[in-house]
Every structure is written in C-alpha cells, then in structure tokens.
Structure 1
Amino acid sequence: MTQTMTAWLAHAGRPLQDTFTAEQVPVPELRPRDLLVRVRAVSINPVDTKQLARLEPGQAKQLGYDASGVVEAVGAEAGGFAVGDEVYYAGDVTRPGTNAELHAVDHRIVAHKPRSLDWAAAAALPLTTITAWECLFDKLRLGADSAGVLLVVGGAGGVGSIMIQLAKQLTGVTVVATASRDASRAFVTELGADHVVGRNLLDEVSAVSPGGVDWVFSSFTAANLATYQQLLKPFGSIVAIDDDPGSILPLKPKAISFHWEYMFARTGHDTPDVDEQGALLARTAELVDAGRLRTTLQRTLNGLNPATLAEAHALARSGEAVGKLAITVD
C-alpha cells in the first residue's frame, strides 16, 4: 500500500472558490478498532460548513463525515468486517474527515452498505439518519406503539427528510412537516408526511392539528420557540439540532421538555454504547433494501476535487437544498 494519499483540505479565510486544495498526506495509521476505507463517495452536511467557519484564518482541516467505500484493512480489534466489504458511516468529528482517498474509522460506527444503493445514494444517508434516529428513539423515546402528532420543522432538509420516513415506518405518529417551496412540498409529501405546512406555523399547524402537537423536531429554534410553546401540548417535548435556542424559560408553564441532539456525542466521548450507531445503520440498510426507506439523495457531483467541494459548500450555505448532495470519488 502506498504511504501517502490525496486529501482535500479546507482553508479558512479564503474565497470559497479557493478554499479547497488537494494535498499529499500520510495514509492514516490504524487504531486497533479501526477500518481503513477507500472512499468512493462523500456527502455534504451543515456540520462541514460549521467546522470550516470555526477555523481561524490560516488554519486548514480535512473535512467530511458521511462516506461510503470499500474496506482495505482491518485493525487488530475490529470485528464484523473483512477486506473488500462495502460499508457506509458518518465518521467522527474529533478525527480527520472523509474528504480523502483513504479514511480510518472506528468499526463500531460502521455498517455494511445497503446492497440496493450505489455509492452516492448510500453516502447521503448516515449522518442524517443517525441524527433523526437518535432524535426519535433516544430523545423523544418514540416506538411502534406511539401515537400523537410530530411536527418536523425543515421537513425537506437532510435530517427532516429521513425523520419523516422513520416516523412513518417505525411509529404510529401523525407527521406534520414544514416546507415552503413547491419542490420541497412535493418532496416531503412523497416521503410520507401526513400534512405539509408553510411559514405561518401557528395558524397552519393549528388548522391541521387543532388539539396541538406532542413533539417538535427543530432545526430553527430561536425564531420559533414562542410558536412551539403555543402549539405543544402540556408535557410535550422539543428536540433541537441547531446551536442557539434562546431562552427556554417560556416552556416551563407547560412543563415542556427540551432535548439537544448531537450525533457526535457518542464518538466524541467514546461512550459505552458507541456501537449503537453502527447497529442503527445496519438496521437502516435492512429497511432500505426492503423498500421501506429511501435515500434522500437529490443531486450528485462527479469527482471529489476542489471545485466540486466548493460547489457543494455553496449549495449547503444557500439554505435552498432539498434532501442531500453527494460527491463521487474518481
């Protein structure tokens, strides 16, 4: 095996078209629990743009979290995988990212790729699926017998588009999803949302669910918190993925619970249950291959390089993306 590889680094403080460069870097050394994966496709998430924004001018970082690829080497304590296996995963924010030819990843957060999906379609799934899964089942504690109304704010986004499907396939809840443009409204309807509402949350949600809602998934919390407080039933719950919810004190009169979701918490702290992420991706692959879940990939760029990375980041920053975007590796 060659001792160097190409990695695509993001440089802070540059115009977007000059942000990414191809560099020769050492092939990562495997930890005992690692797999070495030859990356075949990556997907862009908001965390990529946030990580870039947090760099100091002059700093560079190997970004990328979602990936699909082929196992090239297996660490001494990594079980369940062999050289040649096709896998997918969401990586670990504390380690170098997936924007590289080869990537080292803890086997406990990896699963075999859905057989029915190509590289790009598979790479679009892991991070958003883990986030949606943890929101629904770890934080809100929904299950097959759950009944009530779930409001998904940002239904056409990466997490929302998976959450709608998981909620409809694995629980008994009614899903109300927000989407404002014709394309996004059509998208969330295809995914199974029971009701689609626009920007006037209070009036439109109240019209389709006059009794209120039981749970809210929020990716835009601060601007909507007062509305959530009015829409939620007493003892309802909010699970949020954005960074600044503002004061949550208005939730107290209804005893509304507020939960943070951060899918890198398990890997970042090496929690005893870190293997839950690999297990849920394995379950996701089964659901995809059974036709119960679909990839949310909406656009593919061919060839991982500085230009495609800049294009993908521009789209992610625009806030206009529907579903997910992936980049294949030549």
Structure 2
Amino acid sequence: MRTTTAIGYENNLPISDPNSLGTREIEVPPLGPHDLLVEVEAVSVNPVDTKQRKGAPSGGFRVLGFDAAGTVREVGSAVTLFAPGDEVFYAGTIDRPGTNQRFHVVDERITGHKPTSLSFTDAASIPLTAITAWESLFDRLLLNEESRGTLLVVGATGGVGSVMLQLAEALLPGVTVIATASNSERATWARDLGAEHTVNHHEDLPAQVLGIAPRGVDWLFTAHSKGQIDTYAEIVRSFGHIVAIDDGPRDIAPLKAKSIAWHWELMFTRPVQQTPDMIEQHHLLDTVARLVDEGRMRATTTNSLTPISAETLREAHALIEGGRTVGKIVLHGWE
C-alpha cells in the first residue's frame, strides 16, 4: 500500500482552533483508467475550501484543496492526454480527496497542461477561477467574440472576477465591462485586468451602473447575490441574463417582470455528474494556458506562503474568511 502526506480535518472547527486542520499519512488510491497521479508542487485556497471545512462532514478525515499544479508521475490505462513528466494544473472535484497532499489522483479530462511561462506557484492560482469564469461567460451566458453589450462583474477583485476580467479583455472585444470595487486600490486592480469602468458597490450601485448603461446591463455576473435581487432587477435590462456562483437567493420573482434569466454556475458539475462533455474543462484550461503564454492573461497570485502545511493552510483559511483578499493565496513546497 502506497501512502502520501495529506492535510485535512476531522471535525468542523473554527480556523482559530489548532485542530481545525491536521496532517496524516493516507493511502494513495489505485488509478482509474483516466486518472493521473500528480506530484503536487503548489496549491491555492478558495472560499469553497473554507466552506467545506466549516460545514461538510469529514467522513473521519477529509482532505481539502482544489487548485493544484504539479508533475504527472503515473497514468491510468486509458490516458491519452498526458504522459509521466508532464507539468499540469487543475482544480479537481468536490467528490474526491482534495489536492492538499503530496501525491494526488485526478482525472485527465479536467486537467490542463501548465502554462510554460509560469512557475508552479503562479499556475496554481488559476484553474478553479478560470474554469468558473470561463463556464460563466461562455457556457452559461453564451458570449462569444461577436457579442456586443455591457457586462457587470460583481465581486470583480476576487479570484473568479479577476480571471473573468482578463477573459473578457482577451476574447470578448465587443463587450464593455463594468467591475465593482470597494476602494481605489481595488478599482486600479480591476482596470489593470481589463475593466473599462469601475463602480463602488458600497455606494448607490443602481445610480452608478445606470449612469454608464442607461438601459441596464445586458449581462451580470455575481459572486455576492444574497439580498441583491431587487437591485439586480433594476440594473439589468429586459431579457438580460444573470449568472451566480454563490448559494444565492431562493426568491428571484422580482426578475420576472423584465424576463431576466437566472443561471447557476458550479464548476464541479461536469466532473461530479460525469457529463459527456467533461473533457471541455481540459480544453479550456489548455486555452487559458495558451493565453497566459501569449501574454494575454496573467496569474492572480497576491499572497504566497511556504511550505504546504497545516499551519500555513490555517493561515490561508483565516485570510479567506476575513473577506478582504484580492486575487489568490497560493502555498508551495513541502516540509
């Protein structure tokens, strides 16, 4: 039996508790036909990690972590996309053990070739947010290079928003992007990533947005939709579209009068449901890697911690839970 060092939780404890995350040796599962065994070099932390740690059953000991970058060491019997020695990046899935372990098993169909121009550390900042942003724009909102209109990105300086601004800049030349930002520093970050306009969501959001797009925005992406439906109904045009990635509201009736469409985006749907088009996550990650290597996108790392340990992961979780992070927190190297 092969084992690997892993970091996870046994009980749903506050991150201030030193037992909220711990280290142990766990079994490396056998590879399925499409699986890769990856030696993990870097991981990043996302809000979903903290949400799982605080509320999801551990099953005894649960390893968290989604974003990872590393090197393929072994491949399953049906693998065709990768070979041992390939450098990869990916976001994993919610129904398998996470990436906070030295050796991790992941399906090739949700894995991309790491951008050659990036370190493992910076590459690990990208996958989950890139998949979420890509699927929101191109699969849920159905935008393409011919699209014309205005997109409002709520939560633009977070992980997903920071990638979405870059994707829109690189691939949606006819779309005008308005980004929300709570202060001048965040507004500068958003403009540097491609936003044409910024608005402060702590002030009168409808007045600011409708001052830029008097008839309302065509599309709205939101990472913070709770309690915002009346506002969204006011600032999205008739027959517009909203895509949400948070748990969101349960009553969207105010949108009906303007026939505004509501979409959910969950990047784990493809791998968890084993959808026929699951390989699209591999393709989009390879496209993102190409955009990075062409200089049309960049990593969104703003904080790097080392090594990958229970202590540094607790630090990263605490920062995420503080709700003030910009970009991504990445951990790299092992003790």
TM-score (norm 2): 0.96
- 2:244 corresponds to: 240
1:272 aligns with 2:276: yes
Superposed CA offset, 1:220-271 (max 9, x none): 1122111110111110000001103231111111110000000000000100
Using the TM superposition, give the Cα deviation of residue 11 of structure 1 relative to its aligned residue in structure 2, in angstroms.
3.0
Q: Which residue of structure 2 lines up, in the alignment, with residue 255 of structure 1?
A: 259
- The offset of 1:206, in angstroms, is 1.5
User: 1:32 & 1:269 partners in 2: Cα distance?
Assistant: 17
| Structure 1 gaps, min length 5 | none
Alpha-carbon offset, residue 74 of structure 1: 0.6
Give distance in 1, aligned partners of 2:56 and 2:257. Answer: 40
**Equivalent residue, structure 2, for 1:201:** 205
Residue segments in structure 2 that go unaligned for 5+ positions in a row = none
Letter of the 2:171 partner, please give it. L
Q: Quick check: 1:188 aligned with 2:190?
A: yes
Q: Give the distance between the partners of 1:149 and 1:262, measured in 2 at CA.
A: 23
Corresponding residue number in structure 2 for 1:317: 321
Provide the C-alpha distance between the structure 2 equivalents of 1:72 and 1:59, rounded to a whole number of angstroms.
28
Whole-angstrom distance in 1 between the partners of 2:106 and 2:303: 26
What is residue 153 of structure 1 aligned with on the other side? 154
SS of match in other structure, 2:227: helix
Aligned residue number for residue 14 of structure 1: 13
Per-residue CA deviation, residues 290-330 of structure 1 (Å, 9 max, x unaligned), is 00011111111010101100000001111101011110022
Which stretch shows the higher mean deviation, 14-23 or 301-310? 14-23
Superposed CA deviations along residues 141-178 of structure 1, whole A, max 9, x for unmatched, are 00001110000000100010111111121112000000
How far apart in 2 are the matches of 1:150 and 1:114?
28
**Residue number in structure 1 paired with 2:310:** 306
For residue 295 of structure 2, what is the aligned residue in structure 1? 291
How does 1:129-144 map onto structure 2 within 5 Å?
129-144=130-145
Letter in 2 for 1:270: Q
Amino acid at match of 1:116: S
Partner of 1:106: 107
Percent of matched pairs sharing the same residue:
48
Give the TM-score normalised by structure 1.
Answer: 0.97
Residues 130, 280 of structure 1: 8 Å contact kept: yes
Please, which moves more after superposition, 27-36 or 261-270?
A: 27-36
Give the 3-state SS of the residue equivalent to 2:142 in structure 1: coil
For 1:86, the aligned partner's letter is E
Find the aligned partners of 1:102 and 1:272 in 2 and give their Cα distance: 27
Measure, in 1, the Cα distance between the counterparts of 2:59 and 2:258. 48
Q: Which moved more, 1:206-215 or 1:285-294?
A: 206-215
For residue 46 of structure 1, what is the aligned residue in structure 2?
47
Number of residues of Structure 1 aligned to a counterpart in Structure 2: 329
What is the aligned partner in structure 2 of residue 177 from structure 1? 179
Query: How many angstroms does 1:86 deviate by?
Result: 0.4
* Equivalent position SS for 1:206: helix
Q: 2:221 aligns with which of 204, 211, 217?
A: 217
Query: Which residue is equivalent to 2:30?
Result: 29
Q: Which moved more, 1:198-207 or 1:284-293?
A: 198-207
Contact residue 38 and residue 70 of structure 1 kept, 8 A: yes
Cα distance in 2 for partners of 1:42, 1:274 equals: 22
Answer whether contact 1:13 1:58 (CA < 8 A) is retained: no
Contact 1:12 1:55 in 2 (8 A): no
* Alpha-carbon displacement from aligned partner over 1:61-117 (angstroms, at most 9, x marks no partner): 100000000000010001121111100001011000000000000011111100011
